[in-house]
Amino acid sequence: MPLLFLILACSSEVAAPAASAAPTRAVLPQGPPPTPACLDRIDQADGTADHVVRKCANCALVMEGDAKHTSTVAGYTFHSCSDTCKEALDTNPGEVVARACEHK
């Protein structure tokens, strides 16, 4: 009986395996950085050169942006129209800004 007690006592001290966390995936910005000329051009889409782009860059400057969906790219503040557009800008700022510049 003492041997059984010792085995049970030792087995209760064995740590349970740690719960494995789901792997996280880092989202890195893709594409080349926006050019200064392009940034200046879309900055002035609202008629003011103030480093704040108030129209949604992901929607090619058609939709009004909202300050609650704000991103910063190369020193410019961008207001996106939705969380989805903000995520697109944050994930791939070079592509989104270049596309907006083409439409301006």
Strands 70-73 and 76-79: antiparallel
- Give CA–CA dist 70/19, Å, rounded: 36
pTM of the model: 0.69
Q: In what order do the strands lie in the sheet with 76-79?
A: 52-53, 76-79, 70-73
pLDDT digits (tens, 9 = 90+) for 30-86: 667 888 999 999 999 889 999 999 999 999 999 999 999 999 999 999 999 999 999
- Give CA–CA dist 44/42, Å, rounded: 5
